[in-house]
Amino acid sequence: REAIERGAGELLVNSIDADGTKQGFDLELVSLMREVSSVPVIASGGAGAVEHFAPAVGAGADAVLAASVFHSAQLTVGDVKRAMLADGIAVREGDFLRGDDS
């Protein structure tokens, strides 16, 4: 709340407990942050499969962040965006729709 009062335009919420586990985002934390935040919430920490991203949005995240799954080429941005689209979540369009995930 203090960060928002001081002018934060969005909150990057990283669950240290979930970070690196690849077991999914901390949905309870995302939901609690959504309840108190009047600015966009970005969920971070725990992504390990394409199926992990949509539930974070469902819990209240305006955006999702992942790193290790992309650095290790376990997933591509296109993989995640296609899965989110299939779950009815709007994503920014790009070359991923044509299969170019670079």
pLDDT one-digit tens code per residue, 87-101:
999 998 776 666 655
At residue 86, does pLDDT exceed 80?
Answer: yes
- Extract the tokens encoding 83: 């899965």
pLDDT tens figures, 26-56: 999 999 999 999 999 999 999 999 999 999 9
Q: What is the pTM of this model?
A: 0.86
Burial string for 22-32 (b: 16+ CB within 10 Å, else e) reads bebbbbebbee
pLDDT at 93: 76
86 CB neighbour count, 10 Å cutoff: 10
- The string of DSSP letters for 42-79 reads EEES---SGGGHHHHHHTT-SEEE--HHHHTTSS-HHH
Could you tell me what percent of the chain has a pLDDT over 90? 75
34 CB neighbour count, 10 Å cutoff: 17
At residue 102, does pLDDT exceed 50?
Answer: no
Please state, in angstroms and rounded to a whole number, the distance separating the CA atoms of residues 59 and 34. Answer: 8
Mean pLDDT of the residues in the chain: 91
At residue 6, does pLDDT exceed 70?
Answer: yes
